[in-house]
Structure 1
């Protein structure tokens, strides 16, 4: 293979020092315009590209931030209301057919993360996997800071990584784990949502749908119970239907109650993706929403605006979460042992047709 051109080759051709070549690419405002132009011409003629990795190694930095997700990435569109996957090869399916085929919560947080990195001139490494300690550690070795979505990675692994580089955990309640935390006020959001259903729509029979497999879902159920109790109603000890979308047999309780016409007046779902699947199930069984059953979600993903009826939900500031994570990592770059930051962002209820309100604009 031909030898790759180096900074020395560019400096020789442009007739400048290697320091001037370095400044041209890293701090161009410090180089005269005519000199900068000469360096860029020489680099283009030689096919020279600055080696950020080598430069970072010299300073103990990689110049990149990482973003790691787990099984939130859906490889194929969601199953239908009957629990069966769509027919045909997943690669042949129209990606615009159902926006719920994509992890839109992850997408929106990632978009904010990407925008903040771009505005700061920060390189970004996106990665996903099973959540094994080895896969997370391997990614951590290639970045100056890492943000992680909720997943199965052992806390001990993240704590180990956090001793070397700063780590931001999304949507995980802050504990003494050495990690920075960016979360939202799930309890307050759910209390506000239930307060709207009870106070504005006079609904007294509500059921919670969703398995409490994540800290977010557990906090939302706790907020649901608090609001129901505050309204003078009996607070359930467990969700009405503890369905997880990954299960082959989903919404068995909701389906059974629908068949017997014993559904509660409102189904409050732990997430928008659960709520959208419930809307599909009810539509397939001829149960009108919101006339017979009110359905609500939580997250505020785009698919909720596209549903029919449009979905009442609680909107998380997902892009702001991604941006904030980058800001935290930049502040703590090179100093992972500093006192961790913890941020709790507010949420807001978005009233739409699935609860009986006119569709909102946001």
Structure 2
């Protein structure tokens, strides 16, 4: 079958080839209805703009891609380096402790997945390309990287549903990391959120005799949603009240961030335990509790989920569920390599096991329990 070209799309959509190009590379310069028509026709024809003008159907690059979206940070948060320091001459000769980055603000989830992906590429003798969206409708960056690789792994993001992934899935194998909606012919890779939440609830009930706990976490990812659903189910299975299972579902970027938790602290309505949707949410919760004079774990237990390194560097160390993030990166690369550049015909799912890591934030003695 002959490769679909920009000319085919332009002819069927009734626009110029320049308009087709702009719809992908500079969507902000194309009217919404025109852009929608171009993308619809491109999807129907199976057209993807190739970054190096090769045939995605026949060509091979020996390279895999990772698309990390908004989880990449140009400069570490909390480091004092957020301002522009491109002029090296303006950098201080030495940096004080106050200039050091705050390790709790790093996006360490994606860092570990990326490391596993890179290691598997290196082991297999494959190259690796990385890409990230600059805006919600940044079609150019994702189509450019897809045109240069034999397979593409995508980290979870709210940007996902704004990009032409249905079109890409027809021409290059995609692995969706941390995504549960199987609406594309692609591979879906997640950790076992249900098992992880059950391990947390069982530990709190059986070891700490907790009968009142609540969930904290904004539903900005499929993983957090799945963890909350599993949390409520686990409460019900243990005969506990789930009617007030959700204490705070605010987002970190929201003006209402942690308002629900603040109200619970102010009114003295804190449960015995706060089960957080991610480790990074737990870090923010513990900080807020400390500022309010609430002791962890003496006054309230806090748990996380993910098992990022930062949880071992705080005091108290965070009780959490460890998902095998490096293995997720490796598995994503292996799944792409197995396709040899050929897209999936239907959705395929793989779920990796998780394990509870018991530390000090739940009140356990770290000297007697494995960390």
Please report the TM-score for the alignment, with normalisation by the length of structure 2.
0.75
1:266-345 residue pairs with structure 2 within 5 A?
Answer: 266-345=273-352
Q: Supply the distance in 2 between the matched residues of 1:243 and 1:314 (Cα, whole angstroms).
A: 22
The answer (yes or no) to whether the contact 2:184–2:346 under 8 Å persists in 1 is no
Q: Which moved more, 1:124-133 or 1:62-71?
A: 124-133
Task: Give, in angstroms, the shift of residue 286 of structure 1.
Answer: 1.3
Q: Which structure 1 segments of 5+ residues have no match?
A: 1-52, 80-84
The corresponding residue for 2:129 is 125
Larger radius of gyration: 1
Q: Supply the distance in 1 between the matched residues of 2:236 and 2:187 (Cα, whole angstroms).
A: 33
Distance 1:131 1:147, change over 3 A: farther
The corresponding residue for 1:146 is 152
The answer (yes or no) to whether the contact 1:145–1:329 under 8 Å persists in 2 is yes
Q: Does 1:169 align with 2:176?
A: yes
The answer (yes or no) to whether the contact 1:148–1:170 under 8 Å persists in 2 is yes
Which runs of 4 or more aligned residues in structure 1 lie more than 6 Å from their structure 2 counterparts after TM superposition?
53-57, 85-88, 92-95
Task: Give, in angstroms, the shift of residue 262 of structure 1.
Answer: 2.2
Task: Give, in angstroms, the shift of residue 238 of structure 1.
Answer: 6.0
Task: Give, in angstroms, the shift of residue 95 of structure 1.
Answer: 7.1
The corresponding residue for 2:48 is none
1:160-309 residue pairs with structure 2 within 5 A?
Answer: 160-173=167-180, 175-236=182-243, 239-309=246-316
Q: Which structure 2 segments of 5+ residues have no match?
A: 1-51, 86-90
Alignment match of 2:142 (pick from 105, 115, 136): 136
Q: Supply the distance in 2 between the matched residues of 1:295 and 1:310 (Cα, whole angstroms).
A: 10
The answer (yes or no) to whether the contact 1:204–1:265 under 8 Å persists in 2 is yes
Task: Give, in angstroms, the shift of residue 153 of structure 1.
Answer: 2.2
Q: Give the superposed CA RMSD.
A: 2.6
Q: Does 1:72 align with 2:90?
A: no
The answer (yes or no) to whether the contact 1:312–1:351 under 8 Å persists in 2 is yes
Distance 1:361 1:131, change over 3 A: farther
Task: Give, in angstroms, the shift of residue 259 of structure 1.
Answer: 2.5
Q: Supply the distance in 2 between the matched residues of 1:304 and 1:350 (Cα, whole angstroms).
A: 10
Q: Supply the distance in 1 between the matched residues of 2:82 and 2:127 (Cα, whole angstroms).
A: 38
1:27-66 residue pairs with structure 2 within 5 A?
Answer: 60-66=59-65
- Alignment deviations for residues 24-79 of structure 1 (CA, whole Å, 9 cap, x no partner): xxxxxxxxxxxxxxxxxxxxxxxxxxxxx89999x711221000011222456668
Task: Give, in angstroms, the shift of residue 187 of structure 1.
Answer: 1.5
Report the count of equivalent residues: 304
Q: Supply the distance in 2 between the matched residues of 1:301 and 1:139 (Cα, whole angstroms).
A: 28
